[in-house]
Amino acid sequence: MPKKKLVNDELTIVLPIYNEAQSLPYFLPEFIKTCKTNGWHIIFVNDGSKDDSALLLAQYEKEPLLSVLHHKVNRGYGGALKTGIAATKTRYVLTMDGDGQHQISDVEAMLQFARKSDADMLIGSRNEKEYINIYREMGKWMIRNFTKILVPLPVKDLNSGFKLYRTNLADRYLRLCPDSMAFSDVITLLFINQGHLVLEYPISVKKRIGGTSSISTYTAFQTIIEILGVAMLVNPLRIFLPLSIICILAGVIWEIPIMLAGRGVSVGSMLAIVLGALFFFLGLIASQLASIRLHLVSTNDEQESD
């Protein structure tokens, strides 16, 4: 599909769309009008929708600022965002959910704050007290606190889908991000741990107009696994070092009363100490491999941009 000429080169808004036929008619007219007024480019990624989403988007494909990309099969939330971000040619790219909950009126203020703060990523921090779901909030709380244990986390709304990125940096980390709902969490952690400036900016959200959320218990479990994978990539010693210390301390504590009783060295305590030493050396090796992999990713992207 040929690229459409951009009115300006500052901002592209990417929306992943999956079975949102009920929501699209309500927010698309105002959304497109605002983007046209500001000269922002739009990329819709139809992620293998089974309803009439593709037909609704087709009505706007001739708009000069708008592109519609299609996946033949559903690749997942992250897969759709990766397609949209990879197709972006502007300085900034902003991702929004395609269910109408995010408000286009927040974009201009967020863009101005990005210019002023020189941030590499801005996270739209939500206030969802009006539409709180106890089950989902508990899941978010568990994910957020689990993440804090593994990696530094200076932000509160880790999994907000409303994010503004420097496009060149977002594109650099796409290959390290999953196609699942965990995309938002993982790319944020990569930005933070690679020393980029990540800030939050307050946004408002509306109640979902229609459709069904694809977030489930399995999604939360999948996100935790992906976060664990990121921790292994960016700071594996954060995982292996505590395991090493726990095993060594357990071995020493186990051995002390045995030695005081004059019964020699316990096989169990020695096993725990050796296991602790193995965890430590595995952590060192994993840390070196992670550094090499991240360096190769950065080097390859710099060569491709040249």
6, part of any domain:
no
- Give the tens place of pLDDT for each residue, 9-32: 899 999 999 999 988 988 899 999
What type of residue sits at position 58?
Answer: A
Looking at the structure, tell me whether residues 127 and 250 fall in a common domain: no
Domain that holds residue 221: 11-233
Residues 6 or more apart from 106 whose CB is under 8 A from it?
A: 124, 162, 203, 204
Looking at the structure, tell me whether residues 19 and 73 fall in a common domain: yes
What burial class does residue 31 get, using C-beta atoms within 10 Å of its C-beta: 0-12 exposed, 13-18 middle, 19+ buried?
buried
- Give the tens place of pLDDT for each residue, 224-245: 777 777 777 777 888 888 899 9
- Average model confidence (pLDDT) for the chain? 83
What does the pLDDT read at residue 283? 87
d(CA 106, CA 281): 48
Q: Which of 101, 66, 72, 73 is nearest to 87 (CA)?
A: 66
Name the most confidently modeled range: 121-125, 255-259, 265-269: 121-125
DSSP structural state of residue 100: S
Looking at the structure, tell me whether residues 103 and 145 fall in a common domain: yes
100 vs 303: which has the higher pLDDT: 100
End-of-domain residue from the set 233, 256, 280: 233
Average pLDDT of the segment spanning 181-194? 87
d(CA 254, CA 249): 8
147, part of any domain:
yes
What does the pLDDT read at residue 3? 46
pLDDT above 60 (res 122): yes
Band of residue 149 on the pLDDT scale cut at 50, 70, 90? low
3, part of any domain:
no
5, part of any domain:
no
Looking at the structure, tell me whether residues 193 and 250 fall in a common domain: no
Q: What is the number of domains present in the chain?
A: 2
What does the pLDDT read at residue 68? 94
What does the pLDDT read at residue 147? 66
pTM for this predicted structure = 0.76
pLDDT above 50 (res 204): yes
End-of-domain residue from the set 207, 233, 259: 233
Count other C-beta atoms under 10 Å from residue 192's C-beta: 20
Average pLDDT of the segment spanning 272-279? 93
Looking at the structure, tell me whether residues 158 and 177 fall in a common domain: yes
Looking at the structure, tell me whether residues 102 and 191 fall in a common domain: yes
54, part of any domain:
yes
What does the pLDDT read at residue 136? 59
Looking at the structure, tell me whether residues 173 and 276 fall in a common domain: no
- Give the tens place of pLDDT for each residue, 32-86: 999 999 999 999 999 999 999 999 999 888 888 899 999 999 999 999 999 999 9
Cα–Cα distances (Å) from 274 to 211, 243, 265, 270, in that order, read 54, 12, 13, 6
pLDDT above 50 (res 130): no
Q: In what order do the strands lie in the sheet with 11-17?
A: 66-71, 41-47, 11-17, 92-95, 163-166, 121-126, 198-203
305 vs 60: which has the higher pLDDT: 60
End-of-domain residue from the set 233, 254, 289: 233
pLDDT above 50 (res 5): no
**Which of 39-48, 70-79, 256-265, 280-289 has the lowest average pLDDT?**
256-265
Looking at residue 86, which CATH number applies to its domain? Answer: 3.90.550.10
Q: Are 284 and 255 in contact (CB under 8 A)?
A: no
